[in-house]
Amino acid sequence: MTGTTSAKALSLETVGMTMRFGSFTALDDVSIKVKAGSFHALLGENGAGKSTLVKCIMGFYRQTGGQLMVEDREVSVASPKDAAALGLGMVYQHFTLVPSLTGAENLVISRNDVPGVISWKAEREALDAFIQTMPFRIPLDRPVRELAAGEKQKLEIIRQLYLGRRFLILDEPTSVLTPAEADDMLGLVRGMTERGDLSVLMISHKFHEVMKFADAVSVLRRGKHIGSGSTSELNPHDMAAMMIGDVKLAELDSRLPIKSEARTVLELKGLRAKDRSGLKTIEVEGLGIKAGEIVGIAGISGNGQKELAETLAGQRKAETGEILVEAKPYQATRQQSRQFRVRFIPEEPLQNACAPKMSVMENLSLRSFDIGQSGKPRFFLDRAAMRRQADALIAAFKVKTASPSSPIASLSGGNVQRAVLARELTGDVDLLIVSNPCFGLDFSAVAEIRARIMKARNSGTAVLLFSEDLDELLEMSDRILVMSDGRLVYETPARGADISIIGSHMAGHG
Amino acid sequence: MEETALGLWGVPLAILAGAIRVSTPFIFVSLGETLTERSGRINLGLEGTLVFGAMSAYAVAVLTQSAWLGVLAAMCAGAVFGLLHGFICKFPKVNDIAIGIAMMQFGLGLAFFLGKPFIQPVAPKLPSIPLGNWSSLPQVQAALTINVLFIVGLILTFAIAWMLKNTRIGLILRVVGDSSDAARAMGINPNTVRLLATAAGGALAAIGGAYLSLFYPGSWNERISSGQGLMAVALVIFARWNPKGCLFASLLFGGAGALGPALQSVGVTQGYYLFYAAPYVLTLIILIMTSSPTTRLSGAPEELSLTK
């Protein structure tokens, strides 16, 4: 049995690793050493070359120059299979388990030597024996799609160990976990490294995780290795400086106090809607948002935030209850959203708020192309006016695009987000509904987008901010509400909020 | 009249007999399509495969005087059709549904072209097992004369259900159907798996065609199928990609199809034509009842272009 052998942690070293794609150098002479049994963090902005480096290690890419050493011996990894044979494994940011298969089926099928006819009795006995040696339990008889995100992530790690991998790359492993789940999972992994069962190279954006669990860090910037060090010698400030270099980040406006006479812009009363599976309902008893206030909704992905946002956007039907905007019933028609100046920035805006193959200019005019200057509906498009508007917005929001007529899908994630923000924040906005606006963006884009939202708030916009990033909510919100299992279960002012209490409500232990 | 000996009991008996007789091609085609769709690809061309299978089975049976050689020939022809579909779909930017429609027309046209000389001759029939000899009533005997292929279909249903759960091939098929990425990460080439699954699906669908030309109705002509291959693809969705569900759906569909002739045989002279539409109406009703505007189809392979 692969998993029960007492294999030891592996050490790994890249020597002068270089990767070029045409004339573009994604990785430039990177030498990093991960000692056996250490927990090494790899830091860097988007596009810094982190994923190129791990893809070279795992054999997805063949490096243009440099060597890979495992246990101080040079190895050649031409494919992921070679990497697996050496005992190198990777846990991806997005789950690679097959959702409709059970945990046991997922484990068995990922082995190389699956027998033609699987004797489930014998396999189960072997699996149970293997699981006994693990520091945590995972239900193996349920289809993986029914597992919570934290359980899936643990199963991914268990699978790597089951396959006998002793050097693991974790790619932002906690991005879908609650703070408590993340601590739990990383603590267990840390324990395994301390026992010498495993070496870990973790890609992360979260400094507090790196400080708490990693022994050492290496920082990449624009394909170059900027520095390495032990976590005991570095602080988050040093690491951030190494990651971004000398770039000036946009600063948040200072928060203006909410006027006591501010009117309530959005009010929900007894709202109920079915979730995506149709089996559960989301229920919001009451929620009011005042002008000039940011209300943050915290929660683990899949607890009804998406459904609530869709209901507000008119994409999902409410079963009962009322949505009131400016004290009037709101059905999210185009006419109403224009009248009440409601704007919406969904998550993954390229898919959810853009026509990906249409041009940046056309996408920027999606809110306004059908009305003329006098506010009357128009039949023929005024392309000159659309072009003027696009040019102005692209300049004002610093959208990097080859031209206003390039398809919006050709823009990077941060620039798509900027373009959508530009469109949605044009003119007066009374209510802004935003979901995960900074997911996957780099420091400067994040800082700028947050500054824009804060500016809108200070000018009197009511903002409803859905985010899976607690730090973002703590920084941006006036009040934070926690959504768990389709309900708003906890409310706290953002200032002085206790993360551990928020986390336990997110996990459903209110 | 003989029928009056049974009276109205003739109707459920005829429905049972019809369910067994009419359902067999549906069982084979829907099982074949289940295999293909479980691998994440749709083959809409099974109607063409079915008809071509019917033609080639009949032709080979006429030439060799062996019905079983006819079935074998149909399977080979069906597998070739499946391989062709799978091969074309391997290329990027090729849509499996469009290729399926093209393959359907191709199969129909080729079958009509090659099958012209075989409309007249008589082929040997597939054997059946008389399970109704205990009864003296000829209707009961006729109803319980069960074709061997129906029994093969029954066994195959449970064999495929078992295979999907308990064999490496079954698990690999499900992995590929659910996540190409996961499959690639395991070193499985999804295209190869889909190619083979489509070939196997084509071979099974062609057996359904052989049943049509070699047993019921038991002759080769150009109107032999009347869309059964397409209906079987719909049955797979209705059956939620589950082999046992396919068996049930096929029996239900066959039984509903026998309603019209059965009513006619007991002397209902008006409006029985409406009952000929019963299977289609039933399928529509069931699909509407089991669907939902807000939730995804449960059990659908995630890689299916239908559900993306």
Shortest CA gap A371–chain B (Å)? 32
Strand partners, A225: A220
Calpha distance B27→B24 (Å, rounded): 5
Q: Determine the residue of chain A that is closest to B38 in CA distance.
A: A100
**Is B231 or A94 the better-scoring residue by pLDDT?**
B231
Beta strand A39-43 with A199-203 is parallel
Q: Quick one: average pLDDT of B2-18?
A: 72
> Which stretches of chain A drop beneath a pLDDT of 50?
1-6
CA B247 to chain centre: 10
Is residue A213 within 8 A of residue A187, CB to CB? The reply is: yes
Q: How many CB atoms lie within 10 A of CB A485?
A: 16
Calpha distance B11→A392 (Å, rounded): 76
Q: Determine the residue of chain A that is closest to B175 in CA distance.
A: A98
Of 2.60.120, 1.10.3470, 3.90.930, 2.160.20, which CATH number belongs to B2-290? 1.10.3470
Q: In this complex, do B186 and A108 lie within 8 Å of one another by their Cβ atoms? A: no
**Is B213 or A247 the better-scoring residue by pLDDT?**
B213
pLDDT for the residue numbered B109: 94
Q: In this complex, do B166 and A109 lie within 8 Å of one another by their Cβ atoms? A: no
Q: A339 CB contacts (<8 Å, ≥6 apart)?
A: none
Does B308 reach chain A within 8 Å, measured CB to CB? no
Chain B positions in Cβ-Cβ contact with residue A80 (cut-off 8 Å) = 185, 187
Least confident of A13-17, A503-507, B65-69, B169-173: A503-507
Does A96 reach chain B within 8 Å, measured CB to CB? yes
Residue type, A37: G
**Is A79 or B295 the better-scoring residue by pLDDT?**
A79
Three-class DSSP category at B36: helix
Please write the tens of the pLDDT for every residue from A115-164. 889 999 999 999 998 888 777 778 898 888 888 777 888 898 889 888 88
Instruction: Mark out the alpha helices in A92-206 (DSSP H runs).
Output: 103-109, 120-132, 149-162, 179-194
Q: In this complex, do A116 and B187 lie within 8 Å of one another by their Cβ atoms? A: no
Please write the tens of the pLDDT for every residue from B97-115. 999 999 999 999 999 999 9
Is residue B272 within 8 A of residue B264, CB to CB? The reply is: yes
User: Could you tell me the two tokens for A148?
Assistant: 């919570």
pLDDT for the residue numbered A329: 92
Calpha distance B71→B58 (Å, rounded): 8
Is residue A185 within 8 A of residue A204, CB to CB? The reply is: no
Chain A positions in Cβ-Cβ contact with residue B302 (cut-off 8 Å) = 99-100
Does B182 reach chain A within 8 Å, measured CB to CB? yes
User: Could you tell me the two tokens for A506?
Assistant: 């997110």
Does B297 reach chain A within 8 Å, measured CB to CB? no
CA atoms within a 13 Å half-sphere pointing along the CA-CB vector of A188: 19
Q: Determine the residue of chain B that is closest to A123 in CA distance.
A: B166
Q: In this complex, do A100 and B185 lie within 8 Å of one another by their Cβ atoms? A: no
Taking Cα atoms as reference points, which of B166, B184, B204 lies closest to residue B29? B204
Mutation site, B37, B39, B168, interface A, largest A CB count within 10 A: B168
Q: In this complex, do A117 and B295 lie within 8 Å of one another by their Cβ atoms? A: no
Q: B116 CB contacts (<8 Å, ≥6 apart)?
A: none
pLDDT surpassing 60 at residue B2? no
Three-class DSSP category at B306: coil
Chain B positions in Cβ-Cβ contact with residue A81 (cut-off 8 Å) = 187
% of chain B residues with pLDDT over 90:
51
Q: Determine the residue of chain B that is closest to A100 in CA distance.
A: B178
Compare CB distances from A109 to B172, B181, B295 and report the shortest one's residue.
B172
| DSSP string of A101-129, one letter each residue | SBHHHHHHHTSS---SB--HHHHHHHHHH
Residue type, A363: N
pLDDT surpassing 90 at residue B203? yes
Least confident of A172-186, A363-377, B148-162, B184-198: A172-186
Q: In this complex, do A96 and B179 lie within 8 Å of one another by their Cβ atoms? A: yes
Taking Cα atoms as reference points, which of A509, A100, A485 lies closest to residue A279? A485
Taking Cα atoms as reference points, which of A403, A407, A362 lies closest to residue A383? A362
Compare CB distances from B168 to A100, A116, A276 and report the shortest one's residue.
A116
Q: In this complex, do A99 and B302 lie within 8 Å of one another by their Cβ atoms? A: yes
ipTM comes to 0.81
Q: In this complex, do A118 and B292 lie within 8 Å of one another by their Cβ atoms? A: no
Q: Quick one: average pLDDT of B255-283?
A: 80
Does B294 reach chain A within 8 Å, measured CB to CB? yes
Is residue B212 within 8 A of residue B225, CB to CB? The reply is: yes
The terminus-to-terminus CA distance of chain B in angstroms comes to 57
CA A213 to chain centre: 20
Q: In this complex, do A109 and B179 lie within 8 Å of one another by their Cβ atoms? A: no
Burial (Cβ within 10 Å: 0-12, 13-18, ≥19) of residue B155: exposed
Residue B307 pLDDT level (bands cut at 50, 70, 90): low
Taking Cα atoms as reference points, which of B158, B157, B186, B156 lies closest to residue B172? B186
pLDDT for the residue numbered B172: 92
Shortest CA gap B107–chain A (Å)? 34
Compare CB distances from A117 to B167, B174, B301 and report the shortest one's residue.
B167
Q: Determine the residue of chain B that is closest to A279 in CA distance.
A: B295
User: Could you tell me the two tokens for A147?
Assistant: 């597992």
Q: Determine the residue of chain B that is closest to A82 in CA distance.
A: B187
% of chain B residues with pLDDT over 70:
94
Does B185 reach chain A within 8 Å, measured CB to CB? yes
Does B169 reach chain A within 8 Å, measured CB to CB? yes
Does B181 reach chain A within 8 Å, measured CB to CB? yes
pLDDT surpassing 70 at residue B293? no
pTM above 0.90, yes or no: no
